[in-house]
Amino acid sequence: MFKHHESNEHEERYQRLGTRLYIFILIITLSILSIYILIEKGIHRITILKPTENQYKHFQQSYSNKSICPCSSIAMTYANFVTIQPSYHQVCSSDLVSPQWILYNTRPATVTYTYTDYRLNAKSQFQLLAMFCQQAQQIVDNGIKTFLQTQFVSSQIDSQDLFESKINLSISACQSLILNRYLRPINIIRTIAQGNLLMNSGLNYKFSTANSTYRNIKILTTNYSNCLCALSSQCMQIMDIYTQNSSTSPFIRTLRIRNFYIGCSSVESLLNSTLEIFYNRSAMLELD
């Protein structure tokens, strides 16, 4: 009998605890519901179809964390809102790359020049410069065309700062890609020319004959300022204009073409040249 009485007391105790816990949970639940209802009454949802730019900016400034503006179209090409106007180096629009200037620097084959004479090397250097400019314009135009046809994807309108940041990042990536496309073939040519010691008659190697029968021909490496082309493609020196009193007399330098180089590699020489002398009127009159 005592055990049965003790069991009833435990059951009543557990029932009281369960009832209290139930009441506590009920009160908490009702409190949360009441708070939610009070907050919900203070929220006003406003839907604006096709808002203007000023309306969007107003809501973005006032309710930056709560305003949502989904896009009717999540993708569009950059050409719809981006305009790119490339700017090239001034030399690429100058007379230095014109056919007339290149033709002007074409010298008669009957005249003998020393291998570092400006009149012997100018034509090929300006032809190379014109090719670099044409290649740059072609690669840039193709790169811009590809970029403008690329899709800009966004599910909702970004803030102005975020939008401009995305556009600037995309343009920077496009610029890097275009630059790499331009430099890659040039660097390949430079590497192959140096690594394989490709012969370019008159620049890095010269042919020497012992007599007029051409039966004994020697190949001599060219020397520029005590630098041998057989050892490095970086050998170069400034071009000059020379005169010769007779076919047997030595060449005498009469004019130095400042910072316009000739060397083992036409590419290396041109990349190190500044062309500043061609923007000096007095120097050009003297050169003419």
> In this predicted structure, what is the pLDDT of residue 57?
76
Q: How many domains does the chain have?
A: 3
Domain assignment present for residue 98? The answer is no
- Residues 239/121, Cβ–Cβ less than 8 Å: yes
Domain assignment present for residue 54? The answer is no
Asked if the model's pLDDT at residue 6 lies above 60, the reply is no
> In this predicted structure, what is the pLDDT of residue 151?
92
Does 263 share its domain with 283? yes
pTM: 0.72
Residue 156 DSSP class: B
Indicate the pLDDT class of residue 16, thresholds 50, 70 and 90.
confident
Domain assignment present for residue 109? The answer is no
Does 174 share its domain with 211? no
Indicate the pLDDT class of residue 1, thresholds 50, 70 and 90.
very low
Does 185 share its domain with 210? no
Does 171 share its domain with 127? yes
Domain assignment present for residue 107? The answer is no
Model confidence pLDDT, tens digit, residues 123-167? 999 999 999 999 999 999 999 999 999 999 888 777 778 888 999
Domain extent at residue 179: 68-93+119-195
Provide the mean pLDDT of the chain: 83
Asked if the model's pLDDT at residue 2 lies above 50, the reply is no
Higher pLDDT, 122 or 229: 122
Q: Which range in 36-40, 73-77, 243-247 is most confidently predicted, on average pLDDT?
A: 73-77
Q: Cα(111)–Cα(120) distance, rounded to whole angstroms?
A: 10
Which alpha helices (H) appear in 43-117, and where do they start and end?
A: 53-62, 99-104
- Mean pLDDT calculated for residue range 73-86: 89
Domain assignment present for residue 108? The answer is no
Does 176 share its domain with 239? no
Q: Cα(25)–Cα(6) distance, rounded to whole angstroms?
A: 29
> In this predicted structure, what is the pLDDT of residue 143?
95
Residue 150 CB coordination number (10 Å): 13
Does 191 share its domain with 134? yes
> In this predicted structure, what is the pLDDT of residue 239?
94
Indicate the pLDDT class of residue 201, thresholds 50, 70 and 90.
low
Domain assignment present for residue 200? The answer is no
Does 171 share its domain with 82? yes
Does 179 share its domain with 244? no
Does 152 share its domain with 232? no
